Amino acid sequence: TAEPQGRRQYCRWPCQCPRAPPRCPPGVSLVTDGCECCKACARQRGDRCTEADTCDFHRGLYCDYSGDTPRYEIGVCAQIVGVGCVLNGVRYKNGETFQPNCKYNCTCINGAVGCVPMCTNSRPPLVWCPNPKLIKMAGKCCEQWVCDDSRKIRKTSPRHISSAAYEGEDEAWQKNCIVHTSPWSPCSKTCGLGISTRISNDNDQCRLLKESRLCNMRPCEVDITQHIKPGKKCLAVYRANEPMNYTISGCVSKIPYRPKYCGVCTDNRCCTPYKSKTIEVRFQCPDGTEFSWKIMWINACFCNLNCRNPNDIFADLAHYYDYSEIAN
């Protein structure tokens, strides 16, 4: 579609960035600009924003262009409050519960969609068989597990699979509340500091709330391909030699960390986390104030051809990993 007459282009390529990134005031995020070029101080609530000058997403701000119709060239940074969600082209209201299909029951919470699988047999049966398969049954929504070789069924699971791998099959109950926490969404950035969200009602009020954590899949400034061993095409996990401090808006973590990152491949495979946890990191700012942020801590990554759309929220819910990898 043609752009409105006279709409100004704020991005120019190739990028022309100052030698040193700007020093942002305490509490203001240093982010990559909207042109994906240079580091810049994020615009704050009420500030002017454009396609190049981005709003501080760490503070839940977005660029509201509604006052600049029909050009939509200059906006104002506004707080995301009770926004709806868009899934597969359909818009849902904040707080609305819906079923996009028979397999999932979803809720829209402040721009994030969390879904509960309706098919509870997503794991192979405890009775071990060498080649379990999920089969679509006529007239039923959920696939059923069948075993190809019923003559060689083992009555127990193999030793290398921990019984912990099968825990959590039933819904957790807490004070007449069915506790549900959705999986963390994929990191918003493929490199550098991004944000991941989920919804959970694991609280005293049993209220579905949106949670967020920082994530860093891999450093942008490191060429990980140089660390791939000769004859190999992938490096699943990359780890820097020296510990480092996390930095947010000029505030530095009180202790250094040596995190793992997901690596890269030189073929068409992609590397994504399959084992991770959330840690709490304490930051200290130049003015003496302190705050804590939840950060994704990667334990292991998996290189595979299933490079799915990062916006496919059902992919992680439906994906089945080998238990021998998860349980160890």
- Report residue 189's pLDDT band, with 50, 70 and 90 as the boundaries: confident
Does this model's pTM top 0.85? My answer is no
Tokens of 65: 């262009």
Residue 33 pLDDT more than 80?
yes
Q: How high is the pLDDT of residue 90?
A: 84
- Report residue 258's pLDDT band, with 50, 70 and 90 as the boundaries: very high
Measuring CA to CA, how many Å separate 259 from each of 23, 186, 240, 244, 308?
25, 18, 8, 8, 24
- For residue range 200-218, list pLDDT tens digits in order: 888 777 777 888 899 998 9
CA angle 258, 264, 266 (to 5 degrees): 150
C-alpha span between 10 and 40 (Å, rounded):
14
C-alpha span between 30 and 54 (Å, rounded):
10
Residue 255 phi/psi, 5-degree rounding, is -130, 155
Q: How high is the pLDDT of residue 165?
A: 35
Place of tokens 């075993």: 147
Measuring CA to CA, how many Å separate 262 from each of 39, 191, 304?
23, 10, 12
Q: How high is the pLDDT of residue 279?
A: 93
Q: Find the mean pLDDT for residues 230-259.
A: 89
Q: How high is the pLDDT of residue 161?
A: 36
Place of tokens 């190739």: 14
- Report residue 256's pLDDT band, with 50, 70 and 90 as the boundaries: very high
Q: Find the mean pLDDT for residues 154-172.
A: 38
Q: How high is the pLDDT of residue 81?
A: 66
Q: How high is the pLDDT of residue 319?
A: 43
Q: Which residues pair with 152 in a beta bridge?
A: none
- For residue range 67-112, list pLDDT tens digits in order: 887 777 889 998 766 667 887 788 888 778 888 888 888 888 767 7
Residue of 229, 241, 291, 293 whose CA lies nearest to 265? 229
Percent of the chain residues past pLDDT 70, beyond the cut: 76
Q: How high is the pLDDT of residue 122?
A: 55
Q: Length of the chain, please?
A: 328
Average pLDDT value over all residues in the chain: 76
Residue 272 pLDDT more than 80?
yes
**Structural domains of the chain ordered from first start:** 30-79 (no CATH), 88-117 (2.10.70), 123-149 (no CATH), 192-304 (2.10.90)
Q: Find the mean pLDDT for residues 213-232.
A: 89
